[in-house]
Amino acid sequence: MSTYREIVGKKIKKVSSDPSDGLDGQMWYNSTTGTLRGLGIVEAWVSSTPMSTARGNMATGGTQTATFGAGGGTPSHTNVTEEYNGSGWASGGNLNTSRSYLAGCGTVPAGLAFGGFAPPAPHVQGATEEYNGTAWTSSPNSMGTARYALQGAGTQTAGLAFGGTPPISDATEKYDGTSWTAGNAMGTARRYFAGFGIQTAAIAAGSGPPAIATVESYDGTNWTAVNSMNTARGGLGGTGTTTSGVVFGGSTSAPGTGLTATETWDGTNWSTSPATLATGRYHIGGAGTGTAAVGFGGRSSPGFFTATEEYNKSTNTITAAAWASGGIVPYTSRQNMSFGTQTAAINAGGYVSTTLDTAASYDGTNWTSSPALNVAARMGGVAGTQAAGLQFGGIQPPGTYNTNVQTWNGSAWSNNPLNLSVGTYGLMGCGTQTAALKVGGENPGGGNYTTSEEYDGEGWTAGGALPESKYEGAGNGVQTSALIAGGSPSGTTTFEYDGSSWTAGGALSTSRPGTKAGSAGANTDSNIVFGGNAPPGVITATEGYDGTAWSTRPSLGTGRASTTGNGTATAGLMVSGGPPSGTTTATEEFTGKTETANIANFETS
């Protein structure tokens, strides 16, 4: 019998505490607990950020962290494309032809979409489009057999189309980046089924209605029957290769109730997975690998879904990003100001029926009252940490646009004689106590400012001018890497600051033109924006920024505006706020997606 060292290439170590991470197959003896431990395999679906548009039967392609979903049924036919980055969805370029029940393959910067169904007559499509990550371009050559409810595999320059209807088809075609040529037919005609792999090694699984469990494997020339799935179904999703695949969802009869069942393929046999979808559905989109997949959209009576779930089979336990309720602030307010981190924050000022001087401190669990501001303020700028902060500008009673600056030393506020050059309110502030940035705000003489000011602990100096005036914009960062987004007058624009000048960034997906949204982030490459106000009401939507583009994140539990935020893009905090005429004491905490090693005990025999 082979030893562990002979198999793995290393011996079992004796340790007093478990390592923080490790490699698949690694084992150790924990002398403190007296147990043999190692990394165990976890197989699970985890809910992620939903799509913006509910739909099914899309063209899909890519990986778990770079996926596209194009077209589909809403139930009407659409040309919308969305891209998933492993955290959230962003709008992509629209298809030239709106259609549903189409197929796709390839990647986000090199995708392929073909076939489908859409008016006007003849309805059934053979059209092919290529995606460059920004826009779709129609290919001059359509498939030889127009059809819908087909499947695809491969790449943009080596694609494969197979099955479909009407009538229910066994046809196979290959795409070389320019044109389609006929290949050998499948053994079983199929529609509404799962397909995955590459042009020379693909899998076709299931079909329906009627629902079947049969599976075929393609070697680039011929299709061969292989072992069947455990559950007969059609409209299922699937992804992977001929040696490692996963299928999920589907239905035993459509229209009907979607399944949650998942099965894995090892190149020989199908195994029922302990992992099940949280939302059962059919006509579901899928992309990724056999061990790291994403399932999205789909339908089940009575309608379509935006739900996105990630499947992982690995030694890591993955926890989805989410908002959760935080501690209760000792005083109710809106238009308040907060700074610091998710676990060490200061909230100051705000408004109920008058401008407040009240303040409170947060330890990640509880808020406690702290010394009041020297000068009551609301909708001003803030910067710094729980031990060393700065508050500047805003409105003070009875309505003065002030230039005041106040310094926080961790136990008390003091008046800072180094005032702003002009009074303003609805501004954005960020940075540290000795390297702060003030941006935009409302001009008491009318309109909004484009100006910014930089503070170095010894005075304020003019910074770069914004390309457009901004009031109530959301933003965060540091003095040399800051971001501001949304606000009035335009609710979607984003600007990035490098310490000298402002440049335009990617546009928000959700317009937030007024009544300030919250934000959290460390720099221009890592930010989230949440809440705000846009007719007809407050917003729950959250978006994350990667330095180029915004994409969706899980929504707030309660939408609110006139709010404030601090922390980072993976550990953010929203404090108080409310509808335009309301206030609250509630806070919410955002935690980004995390992965931790799955350490398990093992027994010897």
Taking only the tens place, the pLDDT of each residue in 115-152 is 999 987 779 999 999 999 999 999 999 999 999 999 99
| 411 and 518 part of one domain | yes
Question: For the segment 516-562, what is each residue's pLDDT rounded down to a tens digit?
Answer: 999 999 999 999 999 998 878 899 999 999 999 999 999 999 999 99
Boundary of a domain, candidates 320, 350, 370? 320
| Residue 340 included in any domain | yes
| 14 and 131 part of one domain | no
What separation in angstroms does the CA of 472 have from each of 290, 426, 514, 515, 549? Answer: 46, 5, 6, 6, 21
| 35 and 48 part of one domain | no
Q: Check residue 102 and give its pLDDT.
A: 98
Q: DSSP state, 541?
A: -
| Residue 601 included in any domain | no
Closest alpha carbon to 58 in 20, 101, 6, 88: 101
What gap in Å lies between CA 419 and CA 427, rounded to an integer? 15
1 pLDDT more than 60: no
Q: Check residue 276 and give its pLDDT.
A: 98
The 3-state secondary structure of 42-66 reads EEEEEEECCCCCCCECCEEEEECCE
| 266 and 367 part of one domain | no
| 312 and 373 part of one domain | no
301 pLDDT more than 90: no
* Calculated CA dihedral for residues 131, 137, 143, 147, nearest 10 degrees: 80
Asked whether the beta carbons of 299 and 532 are under 8 A apart, the reply is no
pLDDT band with cut points at 50, 70 and 90 for residue 274: very high
Taking the model in full, what pTM does it have?
Answer: 0.89
- Cross-strand bridge partners of residue 61: 68
What separation in angstroms does the CA of 309 have from each of 4, 273, 286, 321, 428? Answer: 36, 15, 10, 12, 35
| 341 and 271 part of one domain | no
Q: Mean pLDDT across the stretch 267-285?
A: 97
| 200 and 298 part of one domain | yes
The 3-state secondary structure of 7-21 reads HHCCCCEEECCCCCC
Closest alpha carbon to 92 in 48, 59, 128, 140: 59
Q: Check residue 20 and give its pLDDT.
A: 60
What gap in Å lies between CA 98 and CA 52, rounded to an integer? 17
Q: Mean pLDDT across the stretch 374-397?
A: 96
Per-residue buried b or exposed e for 571-584, using 16+ beta carbons within 10 Å of the residue's own CB: bbbbbbbbbeeebb
Closest alpha carbon to 177 in 117, 268, 114: 114
Q: Mean pLDDT across the stretch 173-189?
A: 98
Judged by DSSP in three states, 8 sits in helix
What gap in Å lies between CA 547 and CA 506, rounded to an integer? 8
| Residue 120 included in any domain | yes
Q: Which amino acid is at 357?
A: D
Judged by DSSP in three states, 543 sits in strand
The two three-digit tokens of residue 407, written as one number: 């310094």
| Residue 488 included in any domain | yes
The strand pair at 395-396 and 400-401 is best described as antiparallel
Q: What is the DSSP string of 304-357?
A: E---EEEEEEESEEEE--EEEE-PPPSS-BBS-EEEE-SSSEEEE--BSSSB--
pLDDT band with cut points at 50, 70 and 90 for residue 21: low
Number of domains composing the chain: 3
Q: DSSP state, 372?
A: P
| Residue 201 included in any domain | yes
Judged by DSSP in three states, 7 sits in helix
CATH code of the domain in which 158 resides: 2.120.10.80
| 50 and 12 part of one domain | no
What gap in Å lies between CA 493 and CA 344, rounded to an integer? 30
| 167 and 208 part of one domain | yes
Q: Check residue 4 and give its pLDDT.
A: 46
pLDDT band with cut points at 50, 70 and 90 for residue 33: confident
| Residue 476 included in any domain | yes
pLDDT band with cut points at 50, 70 and 90 for residue 211: very high
**Close Cβ partners of 121 (under 8 Å, ≥ 6 residues apart):** none
Q: Which amino acid is at 10?
A: K
Mean pLDDT of the chain: 93
The two three-digit tokens of residue 168, written as one number: 């229910």
What gap in Å lies between CA 522 and CA 353, rounded to an integer? 33
Q: DSSP state, 100?
A: B
Question: For the segment 340-371, what is each residue's pLDDT rounded down to a tens digit?
Answer: 999 999 999 999 999 999 999 999 999 999 99
Question: For the segment 302-334, what is each residue's pLDDT rounded down to a tens digit?
Answer: 899 999 999 999 877 889 999 999 999 999 999
The two three-digit tokens of residue 542, written as one number: 């959250």
Q: The tokens 């980055």 sit on which residue? A: 85
Boundary of a domain, candidates 320, 339, 361? 320
Q: Mean pLDDT across the stretch 382-400?
A: 95
What gap in Å lies between CA 301 and CA 4, rounded to an integer? 51
| 262 and 408 part of one domain | no
Q: Check residue 27 and give its pLDDT.
A: 67
| 21 and 121 part of one domain | no
The two three-digit tokens of residue 266, written as one number: 């090892």
pLDDT band with cut points at 50, 70 and 90 for residue 97: very high
What gap in Å lies between CA 279 and CA 307, rounded to an integer? 7
What separation in angstroms does the CA of 94 have from each of 134, 483, 493, 549? Answer: 9, 28, 21, 17
Q: DSSP state, 525?
A: T
**Close Cβ partners of 446 (under 8 Å, ≥ 6 residues apart):** none
Asked whether the beta carbons of 531 and 485 are under 8 A apart, the reply is no
**Close Cβ partners of 433 (under 8 Å, ≥ 6 residues apart):** 383, 384, 385, 388, 389, 390, 407, 408, 457
Boundary of a domain, candidates 271, 297, 320? 320
Rg (CA), the chain: 28
Positive or negative CA dihedral for 549, 554, 556, 559? positive
Q: Check residue 318 and give its pLDDT.
A: 87
Question: For the segment 156-170, what is each residue's pLDDT rounded down to a tens digit?
Answer: 999 999 999 999 999
What gap in Å lies between CA 559 and CA 1, rounded to an integer? 62
| Residue 382 included in any domain | yes
| Residue 462 included in any domain | yes
Q: Find the domain containing 355 and state its range.
A: 327-591
What gap in Å lies between CA 23 and CA 2, rounded to an integer? 20
Question: For the segment 421-471, what is each residue's pLDDT rounded down to a tens digit?
Answer: 999 999 999 999 999 999 999 988 888 999 999 999 999 999 999 999 999
| 497 and 581 part of one domain | yes
What gap in Å lies between CA 505 and CA 527, rounded to an integer? 12
